[in-house]
Chains A and B, each alone.
Chain A
């Protein structure tokens, strides 16, 4: 099975760059990695860490120190949040955490998370079964189309729905719990759909044939053998959805649903209720850690299954649908048509008007340049940090380097406002000379996106085995030269791919950018945010369009692979 499960460790896959990176950064959604490795959403496998007997091979001490120091810088906000939380008097802290307001927030966050995750499971698993196990007409088209909503950032989706609502029924508002459920579900279900497709394809036909030969009917076999084995993958996908919903800021903010994440942001932006924000942030931190932990456990089970049972056998049999063909087609296409139709309609209707506004071209261009500049700097810094850590993990994984990796995934899974808040506090209290500069924004990008650069770099490092560097040294090249001439060139494509993923994701990043941008510094995402807030839908449209284009690049890579497999 290779679909979407390209762990960075298959040495045969020389196209490492689009390995693990593709899925995870698809939307810049947190929680796509999980603590067990960069394989991420689409690689359910636990990383087969290269275990070597003996002392470090070609991993000079300075490299380890460099990796620790740089990663520590990236994770500084995470530590600082904990430090600040510990500073408050315990009683105050507990009062805040267990206040009536927190209770209300907990209820609405939990409701939103549960309902969206449930719907995502229904849609995602349903589509995956249709695509992998039935002879539904236009199967490949359906398979690809089902993944495409990933290209719509949640706040762009929210904007699209709201702006369409204004066109269709002016005067009414489109906000609140159920609209948020609809909008978030329709951009999140691919996180269940994709791993489920991979898992269903992984159960080879030989297992199903064995079950059939043991006297089980096709439906019974499917439920007891196939689905049973895909269950860990499905559960893991569902938990990733949950993390995403918990962390989502853009959609809930535009649609005005109070969740923990949104309130962290508002208590920061309105009057700066610091203890409230910090308390809620620690709640979110704990919540994220818990879900990540469970997800990691489940993923391990999935790996065990795939190690025992996967691989052999031909393509699984596909059931003919008979008279269920039309209902199946309708049910399969309905969520996709809605999920893609609304943004496409909104963008095509509003863009024309938006572009023809006087001065809009300059504004869009300015925001684009700012976006590229901030995201480029972020990508550069994140890649520089990921490089030594990737080498440490590839050459000699230690408890320290693996803990750093896990923490990087945790930070990556945290809601943007939480990281934004800790960077702001860090800037004010510890690094005032950097406060209100691009540096703080770059730091936040590093914290949020380190795993996106780490995954491909690690894959690339594993493609550049230490034996080659040793060969170079036995040919008379000192260690640094051997590294520069052999290992680095071999890693270059992976490093580049990781940097690109960070950049694309940073362009789409909203909350941390809002909180940390220098005054007057507007990016595509912040412009869209401002205009949507003032219901200037036409003015917002060009930004939404550009953001969708940016988000489409990794999704396109993903889809081209999907086409090969389904």
Chain B
């Protein structure tokens, strides 16, 4: 790579933004280490895109600062920020060829025609496209290719930070996985600091080094994927990050007593009435004699795994069980339930505010 790595550390603090009377971002703080990938995730309307526009410089926050490597860039206009942007649909210029698109941000006077060409070709190669693709117009590319060109265009200038605004959401699922992996490789190869905005929790968890959850304009939690999934700060975050089994429970001394028996707790110790969070993959189906008795209500087959809805005997409690492989089980079949690992307890007043 001849493109010098100018990757920087991003620091956002106290950012508040309003549209009219509506507060869209409320005192948001974020941190992304040099060369790392941060995913900002939240339901639609949570302020993700606004946050990204603040960082890119298209929107002035009401208060708060955006820093790159300790330089305050809050007042720097967008075009002087060296922050690359990959939009949802790529935002390629339809009147320019692919190569011209990639070269758009390069200073021809400073670099010279040859160097610009060379860099554009290098970028094409980086995103696994050929010089034949370079001569095409954006409308002659597939969706995945367009996104890769948009990435190449943003990377060509050696940005300090690259913003990815739901860049894979317009692609169909197979292509999405491939493009996502390709982009991740390129980011790793170039050591670029990246911020991914998405509403897809799987994408955030698999793509990023750090995941930040945004809801109603407020930052809920920011942590490593494993940590945020296993110890979410509140039930909303938990629900948003994946399918949940939430049970009423009584906690004491690090153990929760619920309809599925005693479950060890992790995280901060709580006492008394709590809501216990388990994940469906923690539940196991065992022989009807073993474990807590239940009856199968519903069976959903997904191919790579399946989800079984079980009613716990003697209660009206329904729980979801995820099994990697199972023969279809007809509704009404008696089964046994067992919990593996530990759960997380939340104060009972935590209410579910969003549905995933």
* Proximity string of chain B (79-90) to chain A, C-beta cutoff 8 Å, 1 when within and 0 when not: 111111101010
* Proximity string of chain B (31-61) to chain A, C-beta cutoff 8 Å, 1 when within and 0 when not: 0000000000000000000100000111100
Sample of 5 more A-B contacts, CB < 8 Å, known A53-B19, A58-B58, A475-B157: A467-B89, A472-B93, A473-B79, A475-B153, A476-B107
Assuming the contacts A470-B85, A472-B104, A474-B79, asked whether A54 and B157 have C-beta atoms less than 8 A apart, the reply is: no
Check if A470 sits within 8 Å of B154, measured CB to CB: no
Check if B78 sits within 8 Å of A470, measured CB to CB: yes
Ranked nearest first, the 8 interchain pairs of A and B with the lowest CB-CB distance are: A475-B105, A474-B85, A471-B91, A473-B78, A473-B79, A54-B19, A467-B91, A489-B95
Overall SS of chain B's interface: loop
Max chain A Cβ within 10 angstroms of own Cβ: one of B24, B77, B78, B157: B78
* Proximity string of chain B (92-136) to chain A, C-beta cutoff 8 Å, 1 when within and 0 when not: 111100000000110100000000000000000000000000000
| A54, closest chain B residue (CB) | B19
- Bound complex: CA A473 to CA B84 (Å): 9
Check if B157 sits within 8 Å of A471, measured CB to CB: no
Q: Which residues from A are CB-within-8-Å of B92?
A: 471
Does A57 sit within 8 A of B, measured CB to CB?
yes
* Proximity string of chain A (96-115) to chain B, C-beta cutoff 8 Å, 1 when within and 0 when not: 00000000000000000000
Q: Which residues from A are CB-within-8-Å of B154?
A: 474-475
Assuming the contacts A475-B105, A475-B153, A477-B105, asked whether A470 and B77 have C-beta atoms less than 8 A apart, the reply is: no
Partner among B80, B94, B163 whose Cβ is within 8 Å of the Cβ of A476: B80
Check if B58 sits within 8 Å of A476, measured CB to CB: no
Q: Which residues from A are CB-within-8-Å of B157?
A: 475-476
Q: Which residues from A are CB-within-8-Å of B107?
A: 476
Q: Which residues from B are CB-within-8-Å of A482?
A: 79
Q: Which residues from B are CB-within-8-Å of A520?
A: none
* Proximity string of chain A (465-488) to chain B, C-beta cutoff 8 Å, 1 when within and 0 when not: 101101111111111001001100
- Bound complex: CA A467 to CA B84 (Å): 13
Partner among A58, A472, A476, A485 whose Cβ is within 8 Å of the Cβ of B82: A476
Check if A54 sits within 8 Å of B85, measured CB to CB: no
Q: Which residues from B are CB-within-8-Å of A57?
A: 58
Q: Which residues from B are CB-within-8-Å of A468?
A: 91, 93
Q: How far is the CB of A481 from chain B (nearest CB, A)?
A: 8
Max chain B Cβ within 10 angstroms of own Cβ: one of A470, A476, A482: A476
| B102, closest chain A residue (CB) | A475
Check if B78 sits within 8 Å of A55, measured CB to CB: no
Q: Which residues of A contact B (CB under 8 A)?
A: 53-55, 57-58, 465, 467-468, 470-479, 482, 485-486, 489-490
Max chain A Cβ within 10 angstroms of own Cβ: one of B56, B59, B93: B93
Check if B93 sits within 8 Å of A477, measured CB to CB: no
Q: How far is the CB of B44 from chain A (nearest CB, A)?
A: 12
A-B contact list, 9 entries, CB within 8 Å = A465-B91, A467-B87, A468-B91, A470-B85, A470-B87, A471-B153, A473-B57, A474-B84, A477-B104
Interface bracket on B? 20 to 34
Q: How far is the CB of B228 from chain A (nearest CB, A)?
A: 28
- Bound complex: CA A486 to CA B95 (Å): 8
Partner among A471, A486, A490 whose Cβ is within 8 Å of the Cβ of B85: A471
Partner among A53, A465, A478, A486 whose Cβ is within 8 Å of the Cβ of B79: A478
- Bound complex: CA A226 to CA B235 (Å): 54
Q: Which residues from A are CB-within-8-Å of B83?
A: 474
Partner among B59, B150, B163 whose Cβ is within 8 Å of the Cβ of A55: B59
Assuming the contacts A475-B105, A475-B157, A476-B157, asked whether A54 and B91 have C-beta atoms less than 8 A apart, the reply is: no
Q: Which residues from A are CB-within-8-Å of B91?
A: 465, 467-468, 470-471
Q: How far is the CB of B194 from chain A (nearest CB, A)?
A: 14
Assuming the contacts A471-B87, A486-B93, asked whether A54 and B104 have C-beta atoms less than 8 A apart, the reply is: no
Check if A477 sits within 8 Å of B79, measured CB to CB: yes
Check if A470 sits within 8 Å of B93, measured CB to CB: no
Q: Which residues from A are CB-within-8-Å of B80?
A: 476
Q: How far is the CB of B16 from chain A (nearest CB, A)?
A: 14
- Bound complex: CA A474 to CA B85 (Å): 6
- Bound complex: CA A523 to CA B81 (Å): 56
Q: Which residues from A are CB-within-8-Å of B85?
A: 470-471, 474
* Proximity string of chain B (53-77) to chain A, C-beta cutoff 8 Å, 1 when within and 0 when not: 0001111000000000000000001
Max chain B Cβ within 10 angstroms of own Cβ: one of A473, A477, A478: A473
Assuming the contacts A55-B19, A475-B104, A482-B79, asked whether A490 and B56 have C-beta atoms less than 8 A apart, the reply is: no
- Bound complex: CA A470 to CA B79 (Å): 9
Q: How far is the CB of B127 from chain A (nearest CB, A)?
A: 16
Q: How far is the CB of A303 from chain B (nearest CB, A)?
A: 27
Check if B87 sits within 8 Å of A54, measured CB to CB: no
Q: Which residues from B are CB-within-8-Å of A485?
A: 104
- Bound complex: CA A451 to CA B105 (Å): 36
| A14, closest chain B residue (CB) | B94
Q: Which residues from B are CB-within-8-Å of A472?
A: 93, 104
- Bound complex: CA A55 to CA B80 (Å): 21
Q: Which residues from B are CB-within-8-Å of A476?
A: 79-80, 82, 105, 107, 157
| A53, closest chain B residue (CB) | B19
| A472, closest chain B residue (CB) | B104
- Bound complex: CA A26 to CA B78 (Å): 44
Assuming the contacts A474-B85, A476-B105, A477-B105, asked whether A490 and B95 have C-beta atoms less than 8 A apart, the reply is: yes
| A475, closest chain B residue (CB) | B105
Q: How far is the CB of A330 from chain B (nearest CB, A)?
A: 49
- Bound complex: CA A471 to CA B104 (Å): 10
- Bound complex: CA A296 to CA B77 (Å): 42
Q: Which residues from A are CB-within-8-Å of B58?
A: 57-58, 470, 473
Q: How far is the CB of B162 from chain A (nearest CB, A)?
A: 10
Q: Which residues from B are CB-within-8-Å of A489?
A: 95
Partner among B59, B94, B95 whose Cβ is within 8 Å of the Cβ of A54: B59
Check if B82 sits within 8 Å of A54, measured CB to CB: no
Q: How far is the CB of A494 from chain B (nearest CB, A)?
A: 13
Q: Which residues from B are CB-within-8-Å of A474?
A: 56-57, 78-79, 81, 83-85, 154, 163
Assuming the contacts A467-B91, A490-B94, asked whether A478 and B77 have C-beta atoms less than 8 A apart, the reply is: yes
Max chain B Cβ within 10 angstroms of own Cβ: one of A53, A470, A471, A475: A475
Q: How far is the CB of B95 from chain A (nearest CB, A)?
A: 5
| B150, closest chain A residue (CB) | A471
- Bound complex: CA A58 to CA B163 (Å): 19
Q: Which residues from A are CB-within-8-Å of B104?
A: 472, 475, 477, 485
- Bound complex: CA A516 to CA B290 (Å): 100
Q: How far is the CB of B4 from chain A (nearest CB, A)?
A: 15
Q: How far is the CB of A352 from chain B (nearest CB, A)?
A: 48
Q: Which residues from A are CB-within-8-Å of B87?
A: 467, 470-471
Q: Which residues from B are CB-within-8-Å of A473?
A: 57-58, 77-79
Q: Which residues from A are CB-within-8-Å of B50?
A: 54
| A463, closest chain B residue (CB) | B94
Q: Which residues from B are CB-within-8-Å of A53?
A: 19
| B104, closest chain A residue (CB) | A475
| B19, closest chain A residue (CB) | A54
